[in-house]
Chain A
Amino acid sequence: DSGVTQTPKHLITATGQRVTLRCSPRSGDLSVYWYQQSLDQGLQFLIQYYNGEERAKGNILERFSAQQFPDLHSELNLSSLELGDSALYFCASSPENSDPYNEQFFGPGTRLTVL
């Protein structure tokens, strides 16, 4: 699959725990975006990385962090999990950072359930 991939598909964990979500962008795409989709908040932008550097930050909690590695894959770390963190987490990638018209290609998402 040459599209955006995300692992795992599903994750069930308990409050207070820490999890790592992984995203591999499309081949050649330098930008990675993370979004959170919850029932009450809709689809919200969390953070963007471009070629290993953080480029934009949205409504990302301090308990959450992300990074993009030299091979351009990205990880979103969620710690001290709360029930309200249960959501679908999407990763998207696009080829360039400077063009706001660029299409973002979305992954299938990781469904996180915090019990």
Chain B
Amino acid sequence: AQRVTQPEKLLSVFKGAPVELKCNYSYSGSPELFWYVQYSRQRLQLLLRHISRESIKGFTADLNKGETSFHLKKPFAQEEDSAMYYCALAGGTSYGKLTFGQGTILTVHP
């Protein structure tokens, strides 16, 4: 079975501070991992995916297969980063099916 764990329900940082949202997964095969974000009054949307190896809005995430983690990082948080962040995993024969973590609410204080 595949599982995604986001250990922090809430995370608060001050503007300009580094931020790391943790994500651990359990999956026997080779997973595809994503971070989705939901800003206030907006739809859930893709932030980044590990296969792209890109930085979006200053965020990066590295897949660590040894630690089965896919933590989301940003060196200098901005107030507009405040949102709900979901880590998600796709894999197996059910292409497209996303298994989501419980989500982390990030609040960036001025």
Which A residues contact B (CB, under 8 angstroms)? 3-4, 31, 33, 35, 42-45, 48, 55-56, 58, 90, 92, 94, 97-108
Contacts and interface: CB of A to CB of B under 8 A. Distances in A.
B75 to A, nearest CB: 25
A101 B32 contact: yes
Contacts, number: 59
Interface in B88-110: 90-91, 94-103
A78 B49 CA distance: 32
Nearest to A40: B102
A7 to B, nearest CB: 15
Given A100-B32, A104-B46, A108-B43, A56 B96 contact: yes
B11 to A, nearest CB: 17
What 5 A-B pairs have minimum CB-CB distances, sorted nearest first?
A56-B94, A43-B100, A106-B44, A103-B46, A100-B90
Main secondary structure of the interface of B (DSSP, over half): loop
Interface in B75-93: 86, 90-91
B100 A100 contact: no
B97 A42 contact: no
Given A101-B32, A102-B96, 20 more contacts: A33-B96, A33-B97, A42-B103, A43-B100, A45-B99, A45-B100, A48-B94, A55-B96, A56-B97, A90-B44, A94-B96, A97-B95, A97-B96, A100-B32, A100-B90, A100-B95, A101-B49, A103-B46, A103-B49, A106-B44
